[in-house]
C-alpha cells in the first residue's frame, strides 16, 4: 500500500481545491495551478482535506496513487506558501543582474548570457561586497521552478577541483585534489 498516497492533504485557509473531469484545480493567494490526473483514481475533497483512492492494487495504480498525491500536495503548498530557491555563483568575475523577467549572467565566457524567465517565476539577483552573487527564484509551481533552476545550473555546473560554477546555497560540492597531490 502506498504510504504517501494514503495520507490526506490538509487544505489551509484561503485555498480552494476543485476536481472536474480528472483535472484538479487549486486556487490560493499565490496563484492558481491545474493538474490533469488519471481518471481511474478517485479524488475527494471534503472536511478541509483531499483524499485519493485507487481502484485496484495493480502496479501502475499503486505508482500513480503516490505520484498524484504528491503533485496535488505540491500544488496546495505552492499556492499557499510558495517555493523559493537560492543559487550562488562561485568564481572570479561571475555576476548576475535581473531586469524584470530577464536574467543576465556573466560566467567567464566571452559573452553575457540572457535568460528570459517564465512569468510565473520571480527573480532577484543580489550582489554584496566580498560575497558570492546570489540568484533568488520564487514561484508557486514547484516543477517549473526546479526546471528553471536546472537550466540556469546547466550553464556552468560546479566543477570538483576549484568549486567554480553555479550551485544551490547549502549544496556541498565533493572536491578532488589536483594531480600534484597523487604524485610522489
Q: Which fold has domain 83-168?
A: Outer Surface Protein A; domain 3 (3.90.930)
Interacting residues of 11 by C-beta distance below 8 A, sequence separation 6+: 17, 45, 48, 49, 50, 76
* 33-88 confidence digits (pLDDT tens): 999 999 999 999 999 999 999 999 899 998 899 999 999 999 999 999 999 999 99
Cell 492533504 sits on residue: 9
Compute the distance between CA of residue 178 and CA of residue 21 in angstroms, rounded to an integer: 59
CATH superfamily ID and name for 3-80: Ribosomal protein L6 (3.90.930.12)
* 116-141 confidence digits (pLDDT tens): 999 999 999 999 999 999 999 999 99
Compute the distance between CA of residue 45 and CA of residue 10 in angstroms, rounded to an integer: 10
83-168 shares the fold of 3-80: yes
Q: Please report, for the chain, the start and end positions of each structural domain, with discontinuous segments joined by +.
A: 3-80, 83-168
Amino acid at each position: 500500500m502506498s504510504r504517501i498516497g494514503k495520507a490526506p492533504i490538509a487544505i489551509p485557509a484561503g485555498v480552494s481545491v476543485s476536481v472536474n473531469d480528472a483535472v484538479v484545480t487549486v486556487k490560493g493567494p499565490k496563484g492558481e495551478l491545474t493538474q490533469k490526473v488519471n481518471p481511474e483514481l478517485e479524488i475527494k475533497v471534503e472536511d478541509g482535506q483531499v483524499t485519493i483512492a485507487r481502484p485496484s492494487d495493480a502496479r501502475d495504480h499503486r505508482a500513480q496513487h503516490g505520484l498524484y498525491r504528491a503533485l496535488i500536495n505540491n500544488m496546495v503548498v505552492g499556492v499557499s506558501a510558495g517555493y523559493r530557491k537560492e543559487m550562488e555563483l562561485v568564481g572570479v568575475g561571475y555576476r548576475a543582474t535581473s531586469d524584470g523577467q530577464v536574467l543576465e549572467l556573466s560566467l567567464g565566457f566571452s559573452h553575457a548570457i540572457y535568460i528570459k524567465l517564465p512569468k510565473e517565476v520571480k527573480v532577484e539577483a543580489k550582489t554584496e561586497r566580498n560575497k558570492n552573487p546570489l540568484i533568488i527564484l520564487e514561484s508557486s509551481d514547484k516543477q517549473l521552478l526546479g526546471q528553471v533552476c536546472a537550466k540556469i545550473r546547466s550553464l556552468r555546473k560546479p566543477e570538483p577541483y576549484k568549486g567554480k560554477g553555479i550551485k544551490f546555497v547549502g549544496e556541498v560540492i565533493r572536491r578532488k585534489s589536483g594531480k600534484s597531490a597523487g604524485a610522489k
